Amino acid sequence: MSTGIPNLVVSVPTEQLAADLGALPDNVELVVWPMDAAAPRDRFDIVVPPYMSMARVLERLEGVEVGLVQGQSIGYDGVADILPAGLRFANAASVHETSTAELAVGLAIAAQRHIDRFAVDTAAGQWSPVFAQSLADRRVLLLGYGGVGKAVAARLAPFEVEITPVASHARDEDGVTVHGVDELPDLLPRAEIVILTLPGGAATQNIVDDAFLAALPDGALVINVGRGSLVDTDALVDHVRRGRIRAALDVTAPEPLPEGHPLWSLPGVLITPHVGGASSAMRPRVAKLVRTQIERLVAGEPPLNVVLGG
């Protein structure tokens, strides 16, 4: 017997995500489309592109009627340039914050306690103790206080650090004093560790430049789990090469970091290959978000996280 409710057509890129969604309302048609060929339908209510490859596939939505494009990443810088006109795009806020925050804290511990060096010693069968810097008692400047920044702050709190959150504008948020970026000249000289969680885009391009790095104290650690475009790479190389600054980077500019780039071989640099969200936490959280979007559309409610074309 018909309910009178039109079918909702949803595209997901993998059989795995389709399985992770579990049972869906009867009026939802699920299509597995990796977006490696032309669209199998002329209309979708939701399209979920494959993870980390939107730049190569969004053009296949040209001429297709799509209610919502649901990305699998938090960041969406550059998407507006490749998203076909008239389409709405939602990012994956709620999916990667915890995993990215875990990596940020892990990079801080690894860099402070020389775990990267000890890993090399392990492979060489070499016992070489060193007296290292603690994470405890360090002054941490957290540049970016959105979902990832707040998740980093929550995980750093038990480590007995002094956290100074900085965002685009100063505010008091849930009892936390958040400083504005205009205060950076006064804040940087005290920062022993800087953790970058800002999004990419023109407003944050090279926010960490030569002047920013020069204002930090000797030996400061810069951790980037935001976007590579936040950092002037040439300036960072210069400061690291002179022994002024250390770096732990999950994102770089350019990316992937090419073979032979000086960041690969400079002492005091630890690099992970953009894996902030690449953990077992991702799959169930992506599925939960997509299922929530489906349920909201079925109920006639607006989707969450719409950041473009709203």
Q: Which residues are catalytic?
A: 227, 255, 274
Q: How many beta carbons lie within 10 A of that of residue 208, not counting itself?
A: 26
Tell me which H or E stretch contains 16: helix 15-21
Dihedral Cα 41, 46, 49, 50, nearest 10 deg: -100
DSSP classification of residue 231:
B
Tell me which H or E stretch contains 83: none
Half-sphere exposure of 90 (CA within 13 A, CB side): 24
For residue 306, give Cα distances in angstroms to 61, 64, 70, 87, 303: 18, 19, 9, 11, 7
Region at 67 (left for phi over 0; alpha for psi -120 to 50; beta for the rest): alpha
- Dihedral pair phi/psi, residue 158, rounded to 5°: -70, -10
Any idea how long the chain is?
A: 310
| Identity of the amino acid at 17 | L
Q: What is the DSSP string of 247-258?
A: EEESS-SSSSPP
Q: CA–CA separation, 55 vs 142, rounded Å? A: 30
DSSP classification of residue 90:
E
**Token output for 282:** 């991702």
**Token output for 103:** 């990596």
